[in-house]
Amino acid sequence: MSDLNEFSVNENTFKKMLNEKNNSKFKNLSWDEWFENMLSKKSVMIPNMLEKVVRKFYEKDFDEWVTNFAGNLNFIWKESSAGELPIKKNQQMKSAIVIGRGPSLKKFNHLEILAKSDYSGAVVCSDGILKDALESGVNPEKFSNFYVVTTDPYKEQKLLYDHKIIDEFGAKIKGIFSTLMNPDAAKRARESGINIFWLHPLFDYHEGKKSFNKIAALMVRAKNHVQGLPAIQTGGNVGTSAWFVSWQILKCNTVSLIGINHGWEQNDPLELIQSHGHNSNLQILDENDPKFKKLYPTIFNPDFKTFCILDPIFQYYSNALKEFISRSPSHITTINCTEGGSIFGNNITGMYFNQFLDKHPR
């Protein structure tokens, strides 16, 4: 590059660049913003490394997952399949709102805005935000198609259901639960009156006939569920699972996202960022450590003109969710109303939540 900041590319390269830019959200933005985004894709290395590393963690957790499944099996046989849930056509429900527990929910009062709206589509809560949603007035009495999703297999999920307000509304909530969910968590949800619908989380299906996904499916089919259960990609987290549930299980053509930041605010404490929100006072790297910028890149969201910081786990989640949205069928529209965060790109429309509620009343 010369002092004038000029450089040469051949015509074919330029055509490819132009095509890439015009087919992205950057069509009407500057070349600088497009380059910035392309360069940030260097961070893909971390998610790829994480895919390998997480596999090792999974091998440690495998026994617990199998034990959970065994503890749930009698209930799975007695209770419903998530495959029974698709919305009936005569209800004319076309859209779903997925609620994650990202910081944007509080920042933009999205729960309060939703509670005051006349929205009549499906409300799909991730388990971690259920209590807060109900307390904010987002409840099944106001939104009759009200769902909660749990895919994490850990005993801590029980705490998410252990609240009076969940007992109050439980009977009107449909729980879409993973067959690997901790049985005590499922028990607590059941005690609150939540009507449970089961599905399989895919994790080792690719290993063939002797994979646990296959074996578990055969065991479920042995009684009552002869057609089996639906199986979903969890994307590694309940927010992505809820997005899959909305179009794959509930058959909604439009899925909007609130509280799905998959990233941190720039002013969040380093301890919070480095412990992936566990607030554990764990600070592994100093901010000035050269590795810090690699592990925690700051990215620009061109839809909302905001920045966010990704920890490695959010890089992994974010890349996976964006990939799956880009691969979703053409009749599925994903609208990110989080108003920030890391979810933007192919097949994702960024929209302010108020606008979404105006345009998609059901």
Partner 1 sequence: MNILKIYMKSNFKITKNDDNVVSKEKKSEKNEELTEEEFEDYMSKAGAVGSFMVFRSNTKKDELGIDSL
Within 13 Å, how many C-alpha atoms sit on residue 18's CB side? Answer: 7
Using CB under 8 A as the binding rule, the residues of this chain from 32 to 71 that contact partner 1 are 32, 46, 49-62, 65
**Tokens found for residue 30:** 């500057």
Binding residue for partner 1 (CB under 8 A) from 110, 200, 262, 360? 200
| Smallest separation (angstroms) from partner 1 to the CB of 228 | 5
| Smallest separation (angstroms) from partner 1 to the CB of 175 | 18
Which among 131, 196, 193, 200 is positioned nearest to 159, based on CA atoms?
A: 131
Using CB under 8 A as the binding rule, the residues of this chain from 226 to 285 that contact partner 1 are 227-237, 244, 248, 274-276, 278, 280, 282, 284
Q: Which is nearer to partner 1, 127 or 339 (CB)?
A: 127
From 122-130, 161-169, 195-203, 254-262, give the range in contact with partner 1 by CB under 8 A. 195-203
Does 212 interact with partner 1 (rule: CB under 8 A)? no
CA dist 96 and 253 (Å) reads 8
Task: Show Cβ contacts of residue 15 under 8 Å, excluding neighbours closer than 6 positions.
Answer: none
Using CB under 8 A as the binding rule, the residues of this chain from 326 to 345 that contact partner 1 are 327-328
Number of residues that bind partner 1 (CB under 8 A): 76
CA dist 152 and 22 (Å) reads 39
Contact by Cβ (8 Å): 341, 261 = yes
End-to-end CA distance of the chain: 53
CA dist 353 and 339 (Å) reads 8
State which amino acid sits at residue 256: S
**Tokens found for residue 278:** 């566990």
From 110-118, 140-148, 310-318, 339-347, give the range in contact with partner 1 by CB under 8 A. 310-318
Q: Which is nearer to partner 1, 198 or 353 (CB)?
A: 198
How many residues can be counted in the chain?
Answer: 362
Q: Which is nearer to partner 1, 142 or 294 (CB)?
A: 294
From 165-173, 190-198, 263-271, 309-317, give the range in contact with partner 1 by CB under 8 A. 309-317
